[in-house]
Structures are given as structure tokens and as C-alpha cells.
Amino acid sequence: MTLAYDSNDISKMPLDIGGWLKKKNKGNPHCVLCNSILSVRNLHNDRDTHFLHGANSQCPSVASINVSSSYLKNLPKSRGASAHVRDFVRDNLYGVFSRMRAVLSAITWLEFKECCENAKRLQVWDLVDLPVELIPYVLLTCKDSFPVSKYRTHSASFFLEPNPSVGSYWNFSPTRKRIIYEVRGQSGTIVAHEIDATPAQGSVISQIIALL
Ligand SMILES: [Zn+2]
């Protein structure tokens, strides 16, 4: 695990091991993906100091199963609760695709279609309180892994930042989710992408379809 946040830090800023060691008045390091408490290993050996999960961790960074979408299973759902979010995607296909492409540059329209197929199967449109601004990022987590391709040198999986404190999954005081993490291929490198909290508007495709 290469990134952690401090349990004393309400902003949950991700830190690498160097940033962690420099920090004063630290709490416990928490995993930015699975939210579990990490230990710091080899503290007195500068070259090898690193964060480590406990035994039997199910964290996607260490488990062989890279299941980005597993969090969706346990969230509250009610039939049609996010139908308005689905309608937003339908009306703003280009905007939503562009927002996903800003995080994963080589995403194709076929992969976008696959994300939408999975979203339907995973009952994303029944999620309670899903903010419309987050839908491009939720769709990225609906595909467990984006494989290496002609235009992509590493596979990629996506995870929304966990909720470290009381509050609903999507919104926690004083803000809502701000980061989506990308776990890259075999190396397990973690990249933090800032979430754009504005609606992903862009209706050119819908306008063209309406014209024809
Ligand atoms: Zn973890």
C-alpha cells in the first residue's frame, strides 16, 4: 500500500510514506481504498519503510480479486431511486463519457457501454441518494478492470474513497466524496484523481440522435 490518510485528518488527504513520516501529531494510518488501519513497517530503515495491511486483508490492493464494484452490493437501494441519474446519463452521454475519459484517457465507447450494462445489472439506478455529479465515477467502478490495450499500457481499476466516519456513503460532513483512486496493473501503483463535483453536462450526442 503506497497511500494512507491520517485518522486525525478530517480532510483525509492521501499521504505517501514520506509525507506520513514528516507529519506531526499523527493518528493511525488508514488505507485509502478499504479504510482499514495500516501498520508502518521498517520504521527505522528509511529505504524500506512502508504501509502494510493486516493478515487476511480483503483490500483490493493486496487481494487477488480486484472487485471494484463490490461496494455497490451493500448500499441501500429502492426501485427507481436513481432513475433521474440514469435519465441524466441518457441526456448527457457525451458529457459523462468525457468526464470518465478525463480520468481514464484511453476509455472507449465500447467500454462505456460495458460500464452501463454492468450498472444496470448492479442496480445502480436503484441506489438511494446517489449524487448525479458522481455518476461518471460510479460508472468507472462498475467495470472491475480496464485491460491493457493498444492505447493503454497498464490495466486499471477504480475505487471511490471510503467513508471514514459516520454519515451516508455518498455524503459525509462537511463534504462528499472528492477522490477516486486508480490502482494500476501488476505494480499496484495507486493514483488519486480529484472528482469534478459539477454535473457532467454535454448533450451533443443526444442532440444528434434527436436530429436523425
Ligand atoms: Zn486497503
- What pLDDT score was predicted for residue 64? 57
Tell me, yes or no, whether 102 and 34 share the same domain.
no
- What pLDDT score was predicted for residue 173? 66
User: What are the per-10-residue average pLDDT scores of the chain (212 residues)?
Assistant: 87 89 90 90 76 84 72 92 97 96 96 98 96 96 93 92 74 80 84 94 91 94
- What pLDDT score was predicted for residue 74? 85
Gap from CA of 4 to ligand 1 centroid (Å):
9
Domain boundary (52, 76, 92) is at: 52
Tell me, yes or no, whether 175 and 117 share the same domain.
yes
Gap from CA of 141 to ligand 1 centroid (Å):
16
Does residue 63 lie in a domain region?
no
- What total of structural domains would you count in the chain? 2
Tell me, yes or no, whether 102 and 178 share the same domain.
yes
Tell me, yes or no, whether 111 and 26 share the same domain.
no
Tell me, yes or no, whether 119 and 45 share the same domain.
no
Gap from CA of 156 to ligand 1 centroid (Å):
16
Tell me, yes or no, whether 45 and 77 share the same domain.
no
Domain containing 78 equals 68-211
Gap from CA of 2 to ligand 1 centroid (Å):
10
Tell me, yes or no, whether 122 and 45 share the same domain.
no
Tell me, yes or no, whether 108 and 45 share the same domain.
no
Does residue 11 lie in a domain region?
yes
Tell me, yes or no, whether 112 and 196 share the same domain.
yes
Tell me, yes or no, whether 11 and 95 share the same domain.
no
C-alpha grid cell, residue 96 = 459523462
- What pLDDT score was predicted for residue 42? 80
- What pLDDT score was predicted for residue 169? 84
Does residue 21 lie in a domain region?
yes
Gap from CA of 106 to ligand 1 centroid (Å):
26
Tell me, yes or no, whether 88 and 185 share the same domain.
yes
